[in-house]
């Protein structure tokens, strides 16, 4: 795989430093073997998340200087609303400070005790906000996604048959939302086809259930549709995006991903007469601030309005996904398993294949994340049973469908040499993986979203 050249020039650099292995072993132990506990300056390549970690452009930084900081109805707010309506085709656009803020504002309007939300796969914070609203989250991902070694397009799809069966078992009146996550983060950044988006919408209409799109990586999803789905190769990305969102009723997104900003989020409602807008405004005022700034400064909204367009540039998306494919090609040569084919925002290494001797309740994906930091100063995270946590009703450790260690690639940040270091580190760890006899145990954990704060130690 040839490396895709960057469609930009570098104008500013930030120094990073590689600690010695001994220093890295000391740092991760001091952090209780939780990668979130590390100091950022002790990390050489930071792949913990692609959320808010991208490099903004010269146009975005210029926009920062033009931000209108009026409390209500600022020029920057109206610029953001104009961009949101233009790209998504929805009548109402609500800024919030990030994706989980959107979930906090939106989900209590649909979910409560005794209700259910169904998704192709809920990500950690989305699942948590379903549970915080008193409801329960159910995943209905395609069966292909559960087989990382199987190469299939659109592995992020909703399992339509399972979705309808689940609705009938629960009772449609008990399903508050169907959430379609594009791309499907927890399943490996895998895209959802237009055919599947439409089929999900048809089920929602049949049972009169609101279809809500988790759109954090909508641009990457649209690129995969254009590249891989029949009938879309010659359609411009903005046309594909409009069609994707035409099937939903509401969407929310963390704009820290595909809009390439360091902070920001959006809620959208297709029908401007939908009474839910009043509830969104009320919750936004209570939790985020007045609805024309939603917890964001004017300069943040200005950068976001620009970033929404930059994130849907085809040259940029071709380069971004090409970076992931470059790394994947090296892993293929080394026989290292990952969720294949590569997703939009990174690689999800199959830690269960790397450490078949370590059971899910000893967290093989967290073991690999720790080994990557010790090996090369690379910070990643567990997308597996450790992140999934315990059953909210019984407290029993849940078993994830996947045991992934996620390489979430920040946008416009790392070069080919950094990707070569990632591959070399994984190859070195694979050569000795059989020597790792046991995994990790949790010494302390909070009741929800434990992976951000839990303390662990080796068994």
Radius of gyration of the CA atoms of the chain, in A: 21
Residue 176: phi, psi to the nearest 5? -80, -35
- The catalytically annotated residue of 42, 124, 159, 300 is 124
- The catalytically annotated residue of 123, 223, 291, 355 is 123
| Whole-angstrom distance, CA of residue 191 vs CA of residue 8 | 26
- The catalytically annotated residue of 97, 129, 257, 374 is 257
Residue 404 token pair: 């992934």
Three-state secondary-structure class, residue 455: strand
Q: Is 257 a catalytic residue?
A: yes
Among the listed residues 206, 207, 211, 283, the one whose alpha carbon sits nearest the alpha carbon of residue 246: 211
In angstroms, the Cα distances linking 179 to 59, 86, 95, 140, 308 are 33, 23, 19, 10, 22
CB atoms < 10 A from the CB of 356, how many?
11
Q: Is 216 a catalytic residue?
A: yes
Name 116's bridge partners: 136, 175
Q: Is 305 a catalytic residue?
A: no
- The catalytically annotated residue of 102, 128, 145, 216 is 216
- The 10 Å CB-count burial string (b at 16+, else e) for 392-421 is beeeebeebbbbbbbbbbbbbebeeebbeb
Q: Is 332 a catalytic residue?
A: no
Residue 130: phi, psi to the nearest 5? -60, -45
Strand pairing of 404-408 and 116-119?
unpaired
302 class by beta-carbon count within 10 Å (0-12 exposed, 13-18 middle, 19+ buried): buried
Residue 194 token pair: 């237009």
Q: Is 247 a catalytic residue?
A: no
3-state percent helix, strand, coil for the chain, nearest multiple of 5? 45, 15, 40
Q: Is 90 a catalytic residue?
A: no
- The catalytically annotated residue of 31, 423, 451, 454 is 451
Helix axes 160-170, 194-207, angle to 10 degrees: 20
- The catalytically annotated residue of 139, 214, 300, 350 is 214
| Whole-angstrom distance, CA of residue 91 vs CA of residue 39 | 42
Q: Is 353 a catalytic residue?
A: no
Report the catalytic residues: 71, 123-124, 214, 216, 257, 451
């Amino acid at each position: 795989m040839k490396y895709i050249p960057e469609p930009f020039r570098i104008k500013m650099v930030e120094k990073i430093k590689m600690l010695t292995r001994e220093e890295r072993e000391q740092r991760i132990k001091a952090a209780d073997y939780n990668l979130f506990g590390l100091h950022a300056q002790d990390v050489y390549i930071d792949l913990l998340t692609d959320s808010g970690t991208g490099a903004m452009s010269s146009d975005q930084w210029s926009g920062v200087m033009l931000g209108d900081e009026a409390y209500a109805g600022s020029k920057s707010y109206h610029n953001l609303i104009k961009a949101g309506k233009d790209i998504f085709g929805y009548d109402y656009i609500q800024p919030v400070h990030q994706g989980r803020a959107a979930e906090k504002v939106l989900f209590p309007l649909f979910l409560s005790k005794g209700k259910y939300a169904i998704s192709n796969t809920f990500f950690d914070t989305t699942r948590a906000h379903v549970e915080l609203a008193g409801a329960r989250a159910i995943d209905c991902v395609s069966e292909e996604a559960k087989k990382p070694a199987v190469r299939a397009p659109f592995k992020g799809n909703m399992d339509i048959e399972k979705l309808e069966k689940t609705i009938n078992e629960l009772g449609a009146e008990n399903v508050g939302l169907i959430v379609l996550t594009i791309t499907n983060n927890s399943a490996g950044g895998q895209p959802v086809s237009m055919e599947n988006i439409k089929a999900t919408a048809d089920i929602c209409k049949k049972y009169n259930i609101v279809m809500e799109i988790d759109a954090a990586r909508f641009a990457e999803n649209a690129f995969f549709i254009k590249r891989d789905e029949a009938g879309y190769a010659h359609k411009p990305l903005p046309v594909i995006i409009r069609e994707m969102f035409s099937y939903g009723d509401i969407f929310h997104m963390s704009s820290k991903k595909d809009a390439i900003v360091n902070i920001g989020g959006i809620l959208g409602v297709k029908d401007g007469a939908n009474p839910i807008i009043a509830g969104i405004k009320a919750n936004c005022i209570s939790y985020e601030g007045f609805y024309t700034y939603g917890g964001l400064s004017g300069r943040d909204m200005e950068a976001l309005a620009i970033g929404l367009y930059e994130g849907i540039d085809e040259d940029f998306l071709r380069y971004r996904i090409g970076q992931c494919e470059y790394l994947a090609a090296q892993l293929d040569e080394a026989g290292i398993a990952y969720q294949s084919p590569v997703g939009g925002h990174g690689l999800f290494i199959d830690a269960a294949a790397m450490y078949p001797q370590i059971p899910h309740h000893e967290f093989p994906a967290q073991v690999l994340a720790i080994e990557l930091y010790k090996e090369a100063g690379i910070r990643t995270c567990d997308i597996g049973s450790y992140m999934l946590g315990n059953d909210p009703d019984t407290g029993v450790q849940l078993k994830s469908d996947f045991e992934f260690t996620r390489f979430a690639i920040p946008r416009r940040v790392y070069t080919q040499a950094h990707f070569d270091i990632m591959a070399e580190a994984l190859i070195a760890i694979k050569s000795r993986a059989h020597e790792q006899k046991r995994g990790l145990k949790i010494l302390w954990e909070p009741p929800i979203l434990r992976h951000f704060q839990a303390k662990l130690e080796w068994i």
